[in-house]
Amino acid sequence: MTISSKPILLLCLLSLGAGAASCAKSQPANLPAPERREVPGDAATMRLSFAPIVKKAAPAVVNVYSQRVVRTQVDPFWGMFQNGGVPQERIAQSLGSGSIVRPDGVILTNHHVIAGATEIKVVTADRREWPAKVLLDDPRADLAVLKIEPGAERLPAIAIDDTSDVQVGDLVLAIGDPFGVGQTVTNGIVSALARSDTSVNSFSSFIQTDAAINPGNSGGPLVDMKGDLIGVNTAILSGSGTSSGVGFAIPAALVKQVVSTALGGAHAVVRPWLGLRPQVLTDDMAKSLGLASPQGVLAADLWPNGPAAQAGVARGDVIVSVNGVGVNDPTALNYAVATLAPGASVTLAVRKAGGAERTVSVRLATPPDTPAKDEHTLSGANPFNGATVINLSPAAADQLGLDPFSGTGVVVTGVGGGYAARLGVQPGDFIREVNGTPISTVGSLVAAVATPVQVWTIVIERNGQTITAQVRGG
């Protein structure tokens, strides 16, 4: 856990136990009706307890333990005395939380709780330990679905409430294992909705809460007054590394999509594609377009014949809302689309320059996979020896979390050693030129590096910046 004097956004690396979810939701008689929202009117009302809700949800909250192998480099000087400088391996452990979302042992947690794990263990509320396997790991949403095998036993599960009925001011509970002290329940309210400027994932539209969330709570449930899961606790904003009353949970709508995908047997989430590159609409941009206020998202670019272009959206249009829900930044737009399925129709409210507004219907598609990946690991006496490269397509960009509008060409997806690692080539780099030859496909790159030369001149694009380097050949 990093400690800083400035507020920082922290993923809660120790997990929170989360309860299992089922599609059907029961309503105990001693809980208030779902539609009632009342401020306590007297001292007797204020003495009411959350105990019935905790009894319903807490048995479905689990601890998730993961182990991964970490390689550490030995200082060259000390390496003369310690194993000759050979990199050492150690076992790193992390503790997180999760929710049983089906009685047959399907468990929901955060991706960052189990990232890189070689072994995962789940401890249920009755202190039994279970080996777990990964059904689906979705780094872009920071969610993972696990499975344990309880046999014929039906485990307690928590329902996922994706009705989007959450309102600012609603009472909520956070359940988990902060700091590894044991299952803990904290309460608070929903402080804000649709927080999309947290930089935690590509589909940020978090529920913000002041319920205390600390390291160890990651992956655990945020629970409403029906005892249902309305979010997965994921991050905190803190200057000290502990709760400061600003916590963030992934909404149930996105959670349910990931769980449904895993239960359908898929190992990756295929999200719908709008074929549009969104951009934040600033006040100056709004004025130049003749708009009264910077409400909406600018369509900075469109994919030729993509879903948005086919529906009549044009470059420079402003997307005001998606299915009636306002969007004011790119991540909010991404989230609104990501919770839908490929093939679904979505209604966009669009403003042209000058303020005229119209409604268009867009049929979402899957990102196209052309050109084909043609994945290749380079070898031989050249600067890219050891690098794995592919042709970039919208589908590949979606899988890698890249911007498909950053340009077609050859992108590095991995560096396994060799000269590329020593040179500092990184995943996400675009290889643009080799010795003056433009590189547009994997095939053209393979041909360009086939013949060794005395000096290589290479051009790489990284994060929008062009890097030109000369490398002496072997």
Residues 448 and 418 in one domain: yes
Would you state the pLDDT for residue 473?
Answer: 76
Q: Specify whether 142 is catalytic.
A: yes
Residues 383 and 354 in one domain: no
- The encoded tokens of residue 238 equal 């803190």
Would you state the pLDDT for residue 293?
Answer: 82
Beta bridge partners of 207: 249
Would you state the pLDDT for residue 213?
Answer: 83
Residues 391 and 353 in one domain: no
Residues 353 and 400 in one domain: no
Is 322 domain-assigned?
Answer: yes
Residues 6+ apart with CB under 8 A from 16: 61, 96, 97, 98, 174, 175, 176, 177, 178, 213, 216, 217, 218, 219, 220, 221, 233
Residues 6+ apart with CB under 8 A from 374: 390, 391, 441, 442, 443
Residues 350 and 411 in one domain: no
pTM: 0.73
Helix axis angle, 330-338 relative to 252-263, nearest 10°? 40
Residues 407 and 439 in one domain: yes
Residues 380 and 442 in one domain: yes
Would you state the pLDDT for residue 14?
Answer: 39
Is 463 domain-assigned?
Answer: yes
Looking up residue 430, the CATH number of its domain turns out to be 2.30.42.10
Residues 397 and 348 in one domain: no
Q: Specify whether 161 is catalytic.
A: no
Among residues 97, 218, 243, 321, the one annotated as catalytic is: 218
- The encoded tokens of residue 459 equal 């051009």
State which residues form the domain around 462.
376-472
Is 346 domain-assigned?
Answer: yes
Q: Specify whether 137 is catalytic.
A: no
Would you state the pLDDT for residue 308?
Answer: 93
Number of domains the chain contains: 2
Among residues 94, 112, 191, 329, the one annotated as catalytic is: 112
* Per-residue pLDDT tens listing for the chain (474 residues): 333 334 445 554 433 333 333 333 344 445 555 556 676 677 776 667 888 899 999 999 999 988 776 555 545 544 544 555 555 555 566 688 999 999 999 999 999 999 888 889 999 999 999 999 999 998 888 999 999 999 999 999 999 987 778 889 899 999 988 777 778 899 889 988 877 665 555 566 788 888 888 878 889 999 999 999 999 998 877 665 666 678 889 999 889 989 999 999 888 888 888 999 999 988 888 888 888 888 889 999 999 899 999 999 999 999 999 998 888 888 888 888 888 888 889 999 998 877 788 999 999 999 988 889 999 999 989 999 999 999 988 888 888 878 788 777 899 999 987 889 888 899 989 999 999 999 999 999 999 999 888 899 999 998 888 999 888 876
Among residues 142, 177, 329, 429, the one annotated as catalytic is: 142
Residues 384 and 352 in one domain: no
Would you state the pLDDT for residue 164?
Answer: 73
Picking from 363, 385, 412, the residue at the C-terminal end of a domain is: 363
Would you state the pLDDT for residue 15?
Answer: 39
Is 309 domain-assigned?
Answer: yes
Picking from 363, 391, 417, the residue at the C-terminal end of a domain is: 363
CA distance 22 to 355: 45
Would you state the pLDDT for residue 73?
Answer: 53
Picking from 307, 329, 363, the residue at the C-terminal end of a domain is: 363
